Structure 1
Amino acid sequence: MLPCCLDDGKEVSNTFFAIYDGQNGSHVAQYTEENVHKHLVEEESYKHGRYELTMKRALLRTDKDLFPLAKSAQRCQLTGRTAIAANAGDSRSVIGVSGKVKSLSYDHKTNLFQSERARIYAAGGYLEDGRVNGNLLLSRAIGDFIYKKNSGLDAEEQIITANLDVIVHEISEEDEFFVIACDGIWDCLSSREVIDFVRHEASLGKELAEISENICDCRFAPEAR
């Protein structure tokens, strides 16, 4: 829970969920887990209720503090009846809406969006075999400062950026549950398969912790789907 006292003196509590998926060891993920939410509540825009801007600033600030390693970040903040999902990388957030799938993020990979490729080229990078400078599959990540050295560009314009894409979702009675997971799940299961799996497990009366464990097991045992 993230407490907040707004400008009008009203106190609110926001619920903050996040996945930090380290690719070159756990150091970056651990540091981000320990610090990004602190940076978030320290931002002046947080007190004004400008949560989308706050989340972007907090992650970019955290990115400056890190060693040159790579990771992806997926965050979701619940504010009243509003869910704010923010992503940089290939972790993903989806919501089950009356059995249907609604994506709350989009994977930042070079083969998906022309805008990502355009930024990479404009910053002096290149693509080889679908990888940034022949190396990274991701087009956004925390760390990887070797791709963020252009002093003439803002952080959002670098070859690899930690700039978050943000999607705002107004929660309704039709919304059943959120799923936030790293690419270890999404590389094996589609969003549709994950939503169907969770709904089935929940219909059997299973607790969320057990469902989470089972979906990880399902990743390794496709016949269990």
Structure 2
Amino acid sequence: MAESNGAAESVSDLSGAGEMQTGRISFGFAKVKGPRKDQIEDFHVARMHEIDGQEIGLFAVMDGHAGPDVAEYLTDNLFDVITRHPNFLKDPKNAIIEAYHETDERILGMGNTNMKWRVGSTATTALLLDNGQHLIVANVGDSRAVLSRGGLAIDLSVDHEPQKPEERQMVESKGGTVSRSIASGVYRVDHRLAMSRAFGDYDLKNHLSVHPDIWDEQLTEDDEFFVIASDGVWHVMSSQEVVDYVRSTPGDAEDVAQAVVAAAVERNSKDDIACQEALRRGVFQQLDYGSMQLRVSTSDLRGYECRKPVRSLAVILGR
């Protein structure tokens, strides 16, 4: 499946489709940007990858800060580093952890000679293994992954906010500081970054971590779908609200994507929004999803005034 994160004026300019060879999961994506584009700092990955005859679902949201370069680099390279790890199939959890650290070292190395690589990014990655039965989520930063288990929202990741006791202890043990902005009320590392873990951030790296939290489980019959989203969603909607909203929204995947984006905008989100959902086969048959083909859509609602004006959402639905 071809992927693109470039500029576009219509859905057809940024669209694609693919499916698992078994037909268990099919997917596509479409992305629309409005006319007043500045920079995209949110990126997503949604594709299938085959290793030794096993198809693996690769899904991710990367939310850049101070610039798009690190987020875009992660989009293009992080899964390659993970899946090429010599022990990936035998020990995927540790392979993911080591790949996160290796990729960050590459980014910091580029930052030694080029200022554009001194920005940073979150990364929330989800890998579907064993024909969609085994889910591994890894997270660095404040993007979030959430699973719907019989309608109950289960957080699959931890928001790495510096005011949390474990995160504050980690930052301070590295010689950094955590303080609360009087103007915004946001806690920041060294008065600058509102998260304690991230890729890149060359100038702050000594006080940050790139070690991911990992959620690793076999999925059950009660597991309906999972959502990966950047903080533009979670700042204005709780995990349970997003799950409830997805479950109650009729229409195809694009309709659901646009509806969740609109809901976040209506709640006055001021940040980029990127989100993905993966739905297991046979779930939500009461809704009019037709053949239940997986479709990812990203939609910008650029008529709203905001600090970072890109509005995007990606939804994945499986049959």
Please confirm whether the aligned pair reaches a TM-score higher than 0.5, indicating the same fold: yes
Task: Return 5+ residue gaps in structure 2 as ranges.
Answer: 1-47, 108-116, 181-186, 269-319
Name the aligned partner's letter for residue 60 of structure 2.
Answer: A
Name the aligned partner's letter for residue 118 of structure 1.
Answer: Q
Q: Deviations over 1:8-64 (max 9, x none)?
A: xxx32211100000111221111110011111122112142x111111122222212
- The answer to whether residue 51 in structure 2 is matched with residue 4 in structure 1 is yes
Name the aligned partner's letter for residue 46 of structure 1.
Answer: F
Using the alignment, how far apart are the partners of 1:209 and 1:222 within structure 2? 20
**Aligned length in residues:** 204
Q: CA deviation at 1:171?
A: 0.8
Name the aligned partner's letter for residue 188 of structure 2.
Answer: R
Using the alignment, how far apart are the partners of 2:178 and 2:153 within structure 1? 32
Q: Deviations over 1:180-211 (max 9, x none)?
A: 1000000011111100000001xx2x112221
Q: Deviations over 1:110-148 (max 9, x none)?
A: 122x22111111111111212111111100001112222
For the 8 Å contact 1:95–1:104, the answer to whether it is kept is yes
- The answer to whether residue 253 in structure 2 is matched with residue 216 in structure 1 is no
Using the alignment, how far apart are the partners of 1:99 and 1:165 within structure 2? 24
For the 8 Å contact 2:70–2:120, the answer to whether it is kept is yes
Name the aligned partner's letter for residue 76 of structure 1.
Answer: A
Using the alignment, how far apart are the partners of 1:183 and 1:68 within structure 2? 21
Q: 1:170 aligns with which of 209, 215, 218?
A: 218
- The answer to whether residue 174 in structure 2 is matched with residue 123 in structure 1 is yes
Over the matched positions of the two proteins, sequence identity in percent amounts to 29
For the 8 Å contact 1:4–1:46, the answer to whether it is kept is no
Q: Which residue of 2 aligns with 1:95?
A: 147
SS, match of residue 79 in structure 2: helix
Name the aligned partner's letter for residue 54 of structure 1.
Answer: A
Q: 1:147 aligns with which of 185, 198, 204?
A: 204
Q: Which moved more, 1:182-191 or 1:167-176?
A: 167-176
Q: 2:100 aligns with which of 59, 67, 75?
A: 59
Using the alignment, how far apart are the partners of 2:237 and 2:144 within structure 1? 12
- The answer to whether residue 147 in structure 2 is matched with residue 104 in structure 1 is no
Q: 2:86 aligns with which of 36, 39, 44?
A: 44
Using the alignment, how far apart are the partners of 1:96 and 1:126 within structure 2? 36
Q: 1:136 aligns with which of 193, 196, 210?
A: 193
Q: CA deviation at 1:213?
A: 1.8
For the 8 Å contact 1:197–1:215, the answer to whether it is kept is yes
Using the alignment, how far apart are the partners of 1:148 and 1:106 within structure 2? 20
Q: 1:14 aligns with which of 36, 51, 56?
A: 56
Q: Which residue of 2 aligns with 1:153?
A: none
Using the alignment, how far apart are the partners of 2:67 and 2:204 within structure 1? 19
Using the alignment, how far apart are the partners of 1:178 and 1:198 within structure 2? 10
Q: Whose helix fraction is larger, Structure 1's or Structure 2's? A: 1
Task: Return 5+ residue gaps in structure 1 as ranges.
Answer: 6-10, 150-158
